[in-house]
Structure 1
C-alpha cells in the first residue's frame, strides 16, 4: 500500500486501534463470574481480574486503525480537549498527526524558527515503530532503505557475527517475508509526518516556552517568547515532546530530581556520499548491509543513510569534561580524532577520510534515571512523551521508535478516554487518560532505557568481540537466564 494524497480518519470498526477484541468464550466468562461470586461471598484473597479478549488485526483497516476520508476530520472543540504540543520533532509531529486523524484539536509549538533550523539528528532505524507509522497514515517511506544483512568485525576485518535474512536467503532474492529494519534520515521521516499533517504551516515556529500555570477555570495557561515578545495560549492538556533537555519536564518536576546522567562515552557521527568512494569495491557498501567493527574500546557502526550514502557512528569511552571539550572544538577536531582512532580494515578509513567536515558532529552521551509514575501523578493536565519522558543512549536505536509509539498511544488514549458521555471534564484528564497512558509508556520504555544504558558499556568492552551470529549483548541475556 503506497502513500496517497488523501485524508485519513479512524476506522470505526476498531475505533482507530488497528485491532479488534474477540468475544470471550462462554467458558471463560462463566469461570470469571464464578470466581467473582466466590470473592464477594468470602471477601478473601484478591479481586478476580476481568479477562481481556484476544486482539486480532482489524480487517477493515488492515491493522492500521485508519481509513480513507474525503477530507481531514473537523476538530471536535466542544467535546475533546485542546492539546498543546511542545516540540515539533519526530514525537511531537507524530502526536499532532494522530490527533488530526481523530478530530482532537491541537496546536503544535516549536522553538526553532523553521524546519531547517536544526538537522534534527542524522539517521534512525525503525524497528517496532515500523507498524506504528502505518497508524500515522504513512504506508511507505520513499526515502527509507531496508537492510537485510548485519555483520560484526574485528579491526582486522575478521567476521565474528552475522545475521539478517540474507544469511539464509540468496542475496538475489528481492522480497522477504520476515520483518526488516528500515533506515531513514530523521529529517526525511519528520518531513513525511509534516506532509501528513498538512505542511509546515501547521507548526507555530519560533515559540520558546517560558512557563505554564493552571488557571482557575481549569485550563493550562502557557507563555511563549516569540520574537522578543511574550504571547499567551490556553489549552486543556500540555504534552512535552521537546527532547532530552525538555523545558516542560524542567518546569514540571525540576532538573535536580532526575538530572542528566553521563554514560561515560562520546559519539561522533558522519554522513558520507557513495560518490566520494568511487573506486572502492566493497560488498559492505551495497546499500543493504549494516556493519560494525570494534576492538573492545572504540566501536564504529555504519548503516545505509540513503541509497547513495552511508552514516557512520563512532563511539568510545571518555571523561565527561574531555568529551565536552572535544565536542566544543568543532567538526575538524572531531574528524581528526575519528580518523586517528579507526585505521582499521577497508573501507572504514576511506569512508571517514571522504566525509566532509560539515557532515560531522559529536556529543557526549546522556540519559536520565527512569521516570517514576509518582513524579507525574501530581502533574495535572501535563504529560511527557519521547526523550522528554525517557531519554536513552543511541546504541539500541530506540529513541525515535519509542517516541512514535508514545504519540500513537496517547492520541488513542485521548480518543478513548474522552469519548461522548465519558465526563472527562468532571473526572479530569489524569484519571480519564493520563494515568493509564503514562503507566503503559513507562513500563514499555523502561527496558529500552536500561538496555541502551547497558549497551553504552558493553559495546566498548570485550563483550562486543563475542563470536556469535546474534546482536551484541545477547550473550549477556543468555548468561542472566
Structure 2
C-alpha cells in the first residue's frame, strides 16, 4: 500500500503503559510515523508465559508492514484449515480454508504462534532503549498541556500523550472509567504438548475446534510446529486466582472432558502441566479517550477469546492510533485521539459482542449444524464468509485509502 504523508513539525511525545503485544506493536507503529515513544512495563522481566494465539490476515498484513515478517515466519505455523469436529466422535463437521487460499484471498497469511515468541519478535524489533521494565503505574494526572505519571518506584515521567495498553485490569482505564472486569463464568486451561507425543500432529497443520455441551477445546501447532498449544474452556463457579502463570489441576481438566473423543482426552493427558486463566471481558465504553489519554487493546475492549481476535484487534488499534497521532501536530492531539476512537470503537464493539455470542455455538448441548458443509468440503465458502473480519485493512482505513467494511458476509 502506498503511504504518503506530511510529518508534523513536532509530533507529540507518547508514553505507553504496558509492554505486551499491544504496547510493543504501538511502539513500532509510532516509530514508523516519526513519533517519540517510551514504553513502561510493570514486570521486571519480559513476558515468557502464555500459550498459543491465532493471527489472522487483518493483523498479519499490519505486522508485515512493520518489518517483522521474516522473524514472525521463523516461529509461526501456517495452518492449512480450521476444522470444527464432533466432541464425541472427532468427525469433521465444518471446514474453513486457511493456508494458501487465505493468503491469496486476503493478501496476508493466517498464523498460529506462541504468545511469548511473538512478544520476543516485537521486543527485539522495538529494541531495549524504548522500553522501561519494572515500572508499575500508581498515579496519572492530566492537564491541558500533558500528563504526569508516577510509578511505584517513585519515578516520574511527563508526556504529551499517555496510552493505556495495560490489559483487562488496566490501571489507566481505572482513571477513565469506574467499571470492573466481568467474569464470564468460564475458565480456560492452557497447555503446550510436544508435537512428537501426538501421532496425528505429524499431518498437515490445522486449527482444530471441538464444541460441546457446556465447554469446548481448541488446539493448533506453534513454535514452528514443534509444540501443540491447546485451550480448554470449562464452566467455573468463581474466577479464583488470576494469573497467566497460575497452575491448573490436570486431573480436574481431564475429568471435565471425560467421555469426549480419544483425540481430545489423549491431548489433555499428554500435557505435563496446565495453566488456568479465568475469562473476563468488560462492558463497552462510550469513550476510550480524553484530550491526552487513550486506551488500546484489552484496556479498551477486552474480549473473550472465542473469535480468536483479542491480539488481532490490539494490533489494528496500534496501527490506527499511530497513523492518527503521526499526522497531527501537538495542538491537534485531542482531535487525533478522538478520530482514533471513532475509527475503532464500532468495529471492536461488534467483535467484542460477537465473541460473547459465540459461547452459544461453542457450548451448545446438541451437535452444531452447518448448512452446506457437505457441499463445501474444502472450506472456501467458510473462508469467504470471514471477509468482514480478515479483509479489513486498519491502516488503509486510517489513511483514507479504503473504507469499511470490505468484502465478505455480515458480522456476527
Is the pair's TM-score, using the shorter chain for normalization, greater than 0.5? yes
Whether 1:251 aligns to 2:251 is no
Structure 1 gaps, min length 5: 1-10, 18-74, 170-174, 419-423
3-state SS of 1:262 partner? strand
Whether 1:149 aligns to 2:52 is no
> Residue by residue, what CA displacement relative to the aligned partner does 1:262-305 show, whole Å, maximum 9, x if unpaired?
2222211111011333xx3x2x5525111122332221111112
Is the Cα contact below 8 Å between 1:317 and 1:460 reproduced in 2?
Answer: no
How many equivalent residue pairs? 373
Is the Cα contact below 8 Å between 2:192 and 2:227 reproduced in 1?
Answer: yes
Whether 1:268 aligns to 2:189 is yes
Whether 1:447 aligns to 2:363 is no
The Cα of 1:225 is off from its aligned counterpart by 1.5
Partner of 1:206: 134
- Normalised to the residue count of structure 1, the TM-score between the two structures is 0.71
Judging changes above 3 Å, is the alpha-carbon distance between structure 1 residues 295 and 101 closer, same or farther for their aligned structure 2 residues? closer
Judging changes above 3 Å, is the alpha-carbon distance between structure 1 residues 452 and 463 closer, same or farther for their aligned structure 2 residues? farther
> Residue by residue, what CA displacement relative to the aligned partner does 1:234-283 show, whole Å, maximum 9, x if unpaired?
100000000000000002222xxx32122222211111011333xx3x2x
User: Quick one: which of 342, 348, 358 aligns to 2:257?
Assistant: 342
The Cα of 1:332 is off from its aligned counterpart by 5.2
Partner of 1:66: none
Judging changes above 3 Å, is the alpha-carbon distance between structure 1 residues 399 and 464 closer, same or farther for their aligned structure 2 residues? farther
Partner of 1:183: 112
Judging changes above 3 Å, is the alpha-carbon distance between structure 1 residues 410 and 327 closer, same or farther for their aligned structure 2 residues? closer
Partner of 1:64: none
- Write out aligned runs for 1:280-319 (5 A): 280=199, 282=200, 285-286=202-203, 288-306=205-223, 307-319=225-237
The Cα of 1:87 is off from its aligned counterpart by 0.3
* Higher mean displacement: 450-459 or 155-164: 155-164
Is the Cα contact below 8 Å between 1:291 and 1:302 reproduced in 2?
Answer: yes
Judging changes above 3 Å, is the alpha-carbon distance between structure 1 residues 325 and 214 closer, same or farther for their aligned structure 2 residues? closer
The Cα of 1:455 is off from its aligned counterpart by 1.2
The Cα of 1:176 is off from its aligned counterpart by 6.3
- Cα distance between partner residues in 2 of 1:328 and 1:211: 25
> Residue by residue, what CA displacement relative to the aligned partner does 1:129-171 show, whole Å, maximum 9, x if unpaired?
01111231122321110111222222122222223158x99xx
Is the Cα contact below 8 Å between 1:238 and 1:383 reproduced in 2?
Answer: yes
3-state SS of 1:314 partner? strand
The Cα of 1:452 is off from its aligned counterpart by 0.6
Is the Cα contact below 8 Å between 1:123 and 1:184 reproduced in 2?
Answer: yes
3-state SS of 2:138 partner? strand
Answer with 1 or 2: which has the greater Rg: 1
Whether 1:135 aligns to 2:135 is no
3-state SS of 2:311 partner? helix
3-state SS of 1:147 partner? coil
- Write out aligned runs for 1:19-418 (5 A): 79-116=10-47, 118-119=48-49, 121-127=50-56, 128-140=58-70, 141=72, 142-154=74-86, 155-164=88-97, 177-179=104-106, 180-198=109-127, 200-215=128-143, 218-226=145-153, 230-254=154-178, 258-277=179-198, 280=199, 282=200, 285-286=202-203, 288-306=205-223, 307-319=225-237, 321=238, 323-324=239-240, 331=247, 333=249, 335-343=250-258, 344-357=260-273, 360-373=274-287, 376=289, 379-418=290-329
- Cα distance between partner residues in 2 of 1:329 and 1:105: 33
User: Quick one: which of 309, 317, 338 aligns to 1:435?
Assistant: 338
- Normalised to the residue count of structure 2, the TM-score between the two structures is 0.82
- Cα distance between partner residues in 2 of 1:288 and 1:263: 30
Is the Cα contact below 8 Å between 1:110 and 1:206 reproduced in 2?
Answer: yes
Structure 2 gaps, min length 5: 374-378, 386-408
- Cα distance between partner residues in 1 of 2:41 and 2:217: 33
